[in-house]
Amino acid sequence: MSAPVLSIRNLNIDYIGAEANFRAVKDVSFDIAPGEFFGLAGESGCGKSTIAFAVSRLHRPPALIRTGSEILVDGRDVLELDKDALRRFRWREVAMVFQSAMNSLNPVLTIEAQFYDVLHTHKGMSREAARERAAELLKLVDIPPDRLAAYPHQCSGGMRQRIVIAICLALNPKLLIMDEPTTALDVVVQREILQRIDVLRKRLGFAVLFITHDLGLMVQVSDRIGIMLEGELVEVNDAQTIYRSPQHDYTKRLWASMPKLHGDQIRPEAGA
């Protein structure tokens, strides 16, 4: 395996309470290789989203990433970055798709403005250049460029999700984090979006950290899978191995509870 694009070492995250602290992530370590599709599964509240937020250091008090944790992106410890370096690091190296497609676009800015935000801040692009680039990016997700003038509420849920993905790709990030990105969408749209991500990943070469509690979906799309239980990463292995011969008790139970309705992996010749 080549040098990992994301390497998490001994990550501990607490939520500080008035009396007692709650440890949401307990000593978690794992790697993601360049271009790899890595799935992180577990029931809600197991700490998987907490990890996702930590990678771009998006937490707010009372969350606390404990000293001794390391989050290496491309060999550089994100936790050592100062404010400015952190700002430059965000989105350029790690982009993120959030849980709710309906809600991750700013309702009072046009789509174009939300592209321009990123392109201007990180690349100093002019409005015209940004508009051109944004149109290109929208094309990647099959959205006509005239949508640039629209506001989020004028687009459907699936379309908004694809716009977010297009914004994610604006700076050619090395890693795309998807935090339960499809929960709000119906099954057909869900599948379609994941296929599209997979195609883009192969074309552009970014890695994906995919977080979900939908195990069936995860097994179909991921190269490797990590299983989380109450803040701990209990098992990591490649998707087929972990599916066919789970080691940890909890993983076995998860598989048992999963309805066996899904077909083969969509990965091999996925997409159009």
Report the nearest approach of other proteins to the CB of residue 218 (Å): 22
Pick the closest to residue 42 from 236, 266, 240, 244 (CA basis).
236
Which range of residues in 17-25, 197-205, 235-243, 247-255 is near other proteins by CB under 8 A? 17-25
To other proteins, the closest distance from the beta carbon of 100 in angstroms equals: 5
End-to-end alpha carbon distance in the chain = 29
* Interface of this chain with other proteins, residues 106 to 125, rule: CB under 8 A: 106-110, 117-118, 121-122
Q: Could you give the CA distance from residue 108 to residue 98 in angstroms, rounded to a whole number?
A: 18
Contact call for residue 65 and other proteins (CB under 8 A) = yes
CB 125, CB 133: distance < 8 Å: yes
Nearer to other proteins, 114 or 251 (CB): 114
- Residue 251 · residue 257 · CB < 8 Å: no
Question: What's the min distance (Å) between Cβ of 90 and other proteins?
Answer: 3
Question: CB 75 → other proteins: shortest distance, Å?
Answer: 20
Instruction: Kindly tell me which residue out of 89, 236, 255, 271 binds other proteins, with binding defined by CB under 8 A.
Output: 89
Residue 144 within binding range of other proteins, rule CB under 8 A: no
What backbone phi and psi angles, to 5 degrees, belong to 8? -105, 130
Would strands 6-15 and 232-238 be described as parallel, antiparallel, or unpaired?
A: unpaired
Tokens for 29, please give them. 């370590």
User: Among residues 179, 167, 146, 184, which one has the least CA distance to residue 42?
Assistant: 179
Asked if residues 188 and 203 have their Cβ atoms less than 8 Å apart, the reply is no
Q: Which is nearer to other proteins, 33 or 64 (CB)?
A: 64
Stretch that binds other proteins, among 9-17, 200-208, 239-247, 257-265 (CB under 8 A): 9-17
Beta bridge partners of 207: 175
Residue span 66-85 as binding mask against other proteins, x where in contact by CB under 8 A, dash where not: xx-x---------x------
Q: Other C-beta atoms within 10 Å of 3: how many?
A: 11
Interface with other proteins, residue 184, by CB under 8 A = no
Please state the closest distance from residue 146 (CB atom) to other proteins, in A. 12
161-180: which residues touch other proteins (CB under 8 A)? 164, 167
DSSP string, 7-30: EEEEEEEEE--SSS-EEEEEEEEE
**Which residues are at the interface with other proteins (CB under 8 A)?**
12, 14, 16-19, 53, 56-67, 69, 79, 87-92, 95-96, 98-100, 102-110, 117-118, 121-122, 151-154, 156, 164, 167
